[in-house]
Amino acid sequence: MNAMMVLRIYNTLYNGFHTCCTNVSYIWETLRNAYSDKVYLLFSGISAPYLKESVHVGTPSSAIPLWYYEKDTKMFVEWTRTHATMEKTKPELHVSRLPILSMAVMYEERVVHDLTDFLENVEVFHANITMFPSVAHILGAWSLSSKIVLNPEHNYTVDIITDTGDTLSVGAHSYAFFRPAEAGTGGSKERA
C-alpha cells in the first residue's frame, strides 16, 4: 500500500466521521428545541423577542428585559431582577387577560393582519395590574406564532378595541406600556 492510498482512506474516514458528527449534532439540537419550553425575553425599544438561553442579561452593557414570553402558552410574565426564572416570578404577580377585544394591523387604511384570534388566550402576569405589554411587544410575540415579520419600512398603525369598547389607534412601533384606562370612554383616541 502506498502513501497516497493511505491518505485517501484517512481523508474518506475523516470526512465520513465529520459528516456523521454534524448530522448527530443537528438532530440533537432539533429534538432539544422541539421538546423544550420556548421562553423569550422582550426588551425596551426592541419588538423582536430573543430566546432566553441565547442572550446574556446582567452584563453592564446588556439591555434589561421587560417581559418573559412563553410562546406555547402565550404568556407574558413581567421580568424582575429578584428571580432567575419565569416560573419563580409568576406566583408573586397578578394574572389577567389582555384587555383587548380586537387588534388589527393597518396599512394605508386597510387591515393587513387581524390579531384577534391570537389575543384570545394571552395571559399577562404583572405587578402593576394597569400595565400591559406594549403594542410593539404584542406584535413581536404574534410574529413568533404567525411567522410573519412586518416590513419596518412601512408605516403600520394598529387599531385596538379594548374590553370596555373603547377604540384607539397607535403606531405599530409604540413601546409605551399599554394602559387601557388611557383609551377614554367610548370614543376614539389616538396615541403615538
% of the chain beyond a pLDDT of 70: 84
Single-letter code of the amino acid located at 136 = A
* CA gyration radius, the chain: 23
Residue 133 — pLDDT band, cuts 50, 70, 90? very high
Distance CA(37)–CA(23), nearest Å, equals: 23
pTM of the model: 0.72
pLDDT tens by residue, 141-186 = 999 999 999 988 899 999 999 888 889 999 988 887 777 655 443 4
Distance CA(182)–CA(192), nearest Å, equals: 12
pLDDT at 183: 42
Of 10-19, 50-59, 76-85, minimum mean pLDDT range: 76-85
Q: Give me the residue spans of the domains in the chain.
A: 1-36, 39-190
pLDDT tens by residue, 18-64 = 888 888 777 766 665 555 568 899 998 888 899 988 887 877 788 88
Distance CA(149)–CA(147), nearest Å, equals: 7
With 80 as the cut, is the pLDDT of residue 9 above it?
yes
